[in-house]
Amino acid sequence: MLGLMAIRDWPTDERPREKLLDKGAAALSDAEILAILLRTGTPGRSALDLARDALAAFGSLRQLIAADRGRFCAAAGLGLVRYAELQAAAEIARRQLSQSLRAGPLLASPKATRDFLSARLRDLEHEVFCCLYLDKRHRLIQFEELFRGTIDGASVHPREIVKLALQRNAAAVIVAHNHPLCFIAVSPPGLGVTASRVWCGPHPGLAR
């Protein structure tokens, strides 16, 4: 019955936005969260119906956001404006994570490093090599993508890594690269990133 009514006419505790305000965002399903971002539906379909249809078509919220522009815009009820809005929302989440880590929390454990790298790299379709520069307390100074390769390879230049680490006065460096193919067919989510931690000390020959 609710599907035949506009969301504004639903009981208050059934409306996604009101449910979020009352119970918090964590209480909402993926479809309800997406419906809030979509805001409106299409003739005869509520925003929640549209959200459910989109999730069914793409398989998951992550796959929906990671879809390329052409495929996303070809789906019924979505289009270019909604593509831009969802990409902006995803980027806000990535930047919030990056800034919260930069503000003081540590990257002192494999899990913290893995969570950060997964958020930054998991949706990329190309291979990249990146560095996380840390201070002596293992707080993040800067995340930087250094090299970009094809889907099965990236070129790495160790001298450049050390040079940039010294420029940033880093006490340690975490180097990482993603495995795009693993996310598609091999590994469970979160296993497509390889990271190593190395000490960064003085290098007398670096200035030459």
CATH code, domain with 125:
3.40.140.10
- Predicted confidence at residue 203, as pLDDT, reads 45
Helix (H) or strand (E) holding 186: none
Same domain for 84 and 8: yes
Same domain for 34 and 11: yes
Same domain for 85 and 167: no
- Predicted confidence at residue 195, as pLDDT, reads 53
For residues 179 and 123, the answer to whether their CB atoms sit within 8 Å is no
- Predicted confidence at residue 51, as pLDDT, reads 93
Rounded Cα gap, residues 103 and 99, in angstroms: 6
72: domain range? 2-94
- Predicted confidence at residue 100, as pLDDT, reads 65
Would you say residue 205 lies in a domain?
Answer: no
94: closest CA among 61, 64, 123, 119? 119
Would you say residue 157 lies in a domain?
Answer: yes
Name the domain count of the chain: 2
43, 59, 94 - which closes a domain: 94
CA dihedral 114, 116, 88, 142 (to 10 degrees): -140
Quote the tokens at residue 84. 């831009």
- pLDDT digit of tens for each residue in the chain (208 aa)? 454 566 666 776 678 889 899 889 889 999 999 999 998 888 888 899 999 999 999 999 989 998 999 999 999 999 999 999 999 999 988 888 777 655 545 787 888 888 888 878 877 777 888 888 888 888 888 888 887 766 455 566 778 888 888 888 888 888 888 876 554 333 333 334 455 555 444 444 333 2
51, 75, 94 - which closes a domain: 94
The helix/strand/coil state of 80 is helix
